Amino acid sequence: MNQPVRQVGLMLARFAMSAWVGAATLFVINGVRMVTSDAFDSAGRDHVALIRFPAYYATGATLMFVTLVGLLVARGLPRLTKRRWVTLFVITCLASVVMLADYLWIYCPLADMITPPGGARPQGFRALHHASEAINTLQVGLCLTAAMMINWPVSGERQ
């Protein structure tokens, strides 16, 4: 692959990873405000979760995919060391696996527990909810680490 194509790959990876960290942060800020607001009853909170979370995971999966494709295209960019590329690729793959596991084994069971909205919370809801908070913190933390690494100027890049 030629140099300009590799540079576009790096740009896409930088953009997508940074966009995901920002989007996830905004989602959490708005989501916490909504579910702790007195404006919503229990059924309203459940509806908010059932409406918003699928978009959260779809956005995250899309941006993680774009990041991985961008990194694959950028591979071999002379200024991007092999060590740095491998580290970024591994962190991004790990963050993607964490997100997929969260969706399949935490979010989907939680969504089933609040369907239909407004019902009593079954046993296990609180534990799954706390697990979701922890795993999402891990996932976004991995992405923040990768975003800082990928946006740090590579050797030879103009300052």
Per-residue pLDDT tens over the stretch 27-79: 999 988 888 888 889 999 999 999 999 999 999 999 999 999 999 999 999 88
Tokens (6 digits) for 49: 């979760």
Q: Whole-model pTM?
A: 0.93
Residue 158 clears pLDDT 70, i.e. is over it? no
pLDDT-based confidence at 137, cuts 50/70/90? very high
Q: What's the Cα-to-Cα distance from 128 to each of 53, 67, 108, 109, 122, rounded to whole Å?
A: 15, 29, 10, 8, 11
In which residue are the tokens 């079954």 written?
122
**How far apart are the C-alpha atoms of 120 and 37, rounded to whole Å?**
19
**How far apart are the C-alpha atoms of 133 and 137, rounded to whole Å?**
6
Percent of the chain exceeding pLDDT 90 equals 86
Residues 7-14 have a mean pLDDT of 97
Per-residue pLDDT tens over the stretch 68-110: 999 999 999 988 999 999 999 999 999 999 999 999 999 999 9
**In 3-state terms, the chain is what percent helix, strand and coil (to 5)?**
80, 0, 20
Any alpha helices (H) in the chain, and if so which ranges? 3-36, 42-74, 82-102, 108-113, 125-151
